[in-house]
Chains A and B, each alone.
Chain A
Amino acid sequence: MNLIKPVILHRPWLKANFIYATTVRNHLWTKDYKPGPFPKTEEQRAAAAEKYGLPLSEYASYPDDGGQALGDYPCLPMISAEVKDPYYPWDNPELKRNFNEPMHYQFDLLREDRYNVNARFRKPMWYMLAQCLGAMLSSFGLFWVCDFVKMFHPVTPRQYPKKGAVGLKVRGYGPNQF
């Protein structure tokens, strides 16, 4: 009595006719999306550039780490999305990225909601350091001077009729250092 029959589509068929599916899961396991081995010969470099959709002149690989992680993955320039042109008609404006554009190894760092590696300071670093030190040192200097120079009301201590009670109430004169 199953009115709705599940349609079972097989992966090879879906892969061949991907127009019927929104997604095809090609990567199931870490080894499936791991880059290839480090390219040593010129032919391997050309194959790797072809694989990642880059002209051979723009292709550069990371230093060989013995086949651990990066392999033949291309070493792309580090450009944050924040400094990319916002008026360019990107295919994917949210990420400022074109279709099939190779992604940087640290793409998760370069998004607009993350870090801007190409940020430029408004003032040079020595200037900002001088600003910080100037503010802190002048505050400390004021504090240091006022440690020796206590301000006070020009009055004698309070007068009490009872002997030995002199100066019981001393308000606002700071510590009894005088």
Chain B
Amino acid sequence: MGNAVGTYPVNGFKLYFHPEVTPSPYEEPTFDPNLGFAGKRKPRVMVATEEEMRSAKLALEDRDYCAHVLLKFRKCRRDNFPFVVKCEHEKHAYLNCQNDDFLLRAKEYERERRLRVRAVAEQKAQEV
């Protein structure tokens, strides 16, 4: 994620001038997830159950694939309050989980972008 100051504005210009090859950050991936893989990709596993999240009153936006780590962190905070500094490991685990999640999303984006570039190039080659 280096060179953020240069990358983020350039993304905006790319999306404005080349929308056919630049996925928007609001768009879901459009290609087959297994495209280009020998076998099947491993689907992500949701550890926390709906029941747990509901009883913990977890916000809807927090009910992602890191929810079980967040639940542990919240529980630790509740048990150790006001000495919440004891939960530094739980917090670190949650932030690491979020970072891994972000990395996955960044890879998905880049995969989508490259597949679009390839599709456009193939279409041009067919026209010529």
Contact = CB atoms under 8 A, between A and B. Distances in A.
B65 A159 contact: yes
Q: Give the interface SS of chain B, mostly helix, strand, loop or mixed.
A: helix
A156 B9 contact: no
Interface string B56-68: 0000111111000
Contacts of A144: none
Interface stretch (A21-29, A125-133, A160-168): A160-168
Contacts of B63: 160-162, 165
Contacts of B44: 159, 161
A146 B15 CA distance: 12
Contact of A149 (B16, B26, B50, B104): B16
Interface residues of A, number: 25
A88 interface: no
9 A-B pairs with the lowest CB-CB distances in the bound complex, closest first: A155-B105, A169-B61, A149-B12, A161-B46, A178-B24, A151-B8, A151-B12, A152-B25, A156-B108
Nearest to B4: A153
13 contacts: A151-B8, A152-B15, A152-B25, A155-B105, A155-B108, A156-B27, A158-B61, A159-B101, A159-B105, A160-B64, A167-B26, A170-B25, A178-B24
B80 interface: no
Contact of B11 (A154, A162, A166, A176): A154
A152 B10 CA distance: 9
